[in-house]
Amino acid sequence: MMELPVLIVLFLAEAYFTFSSRGLLAYTFGIYLDLPNVIIHECGHALTARLWGGSIQSVKFNILPSIVKSGGILGVAEIGYRNGLGMFFSLMGGYVSQALFFVVMAYLYLQGQLLWIIPLFLGIYLLTNLLAQEKSFWQNLIILIVIGATIVLYRNNSNLLLRIYQSVDAITIGFIIWYLLGLAHQFFIVLLLKTDSHWDGTTLATRTFIPTAIWKGVFLLAMGGAYFAPVWLQLLLI
């Protein structure tokens, strides 16, 4: 699944989808395709800011296409106080975090440690939400329901839980492909961004006086390198 020819074909397919797709259906598909990447992206902003002494106000995600289209935002991390370095690293933390997370996923996949991938993803989100001053009631409620349902299943129907556990590998591989395609989609979205649009690169350019095109190149290099991580990691691990 992670061989170079397969990755190239999927990469080119995502390029075709990004450059040619039109209409609400394609827009909606793109939103849900990007969701895992956006969650890690916004958590990366928030956790990096916190690491450098800042505070996290909230991390919010919009999953309804109508809301995303009207606001233009799938997710947003609202950060409180940040010093100069905190501002710089938290702005870098979005695209770099989503790239690094896929590198970690690829490493765990190659090591046969699939069981850790989804819990790691959920753990990053939970940690970010717990550190935020404004916590999402509904998102926490859903997580608590899932945990509660797991406990009930364990106590009353352990066989069903065992079957779910045995299907984790297939579920995780599906999640890896979802994240992989979303990463490629994000790559081409950044490639298409205009230098005067409002995104992390323009904010960094304003703060550092380094042109937006340079930051775009840095983020494209990070995401492109991460996308092909299964190939170069395999060479390093030989």
Give the model confidence (pLDDT) of 83-104 as tens digits.
Answer: 777 788 899 999 999 999 999 9
> Looking at the 3D structure of the chain, how many domains does it have?
1
H or E element that contains 4: helix 4-20
The radius of gyration of the chain from alpha carbons, rounded to an integer in Å, stands at 19
In this prediction, residue 71 carries a pLDDT of 59
In this prediction, residue 139 carries a pLDDT of 67
List, in sequence order, every residue forming a beta bridge with 79; answer none if it has no partner: 56
Residue 223 identity (one-letter amino acid): M
In this prediction, residue 43 carries a pLDDT of 94
In this prediction, residue 165 carries a pLDDT of 60
Domain limits at 47?
A: 4-237
Cβ-contact 52, 86 below 8 angstroms? yes
Extract the tokens encoding 28.
Answer: 């909606």
Low-confidence ranges of the chain (pLDDT < 50): none
Closest CA to 15 of 178, 175, 190: 190
Closest CA to 42 of 6, 1, 73: 73
pLDDT, averaged across the chain: 84
CA distance 216 to 32: 23
- 53 phi-psi bin (left φ>0, alpha ψ -120 to 50, beta other): left
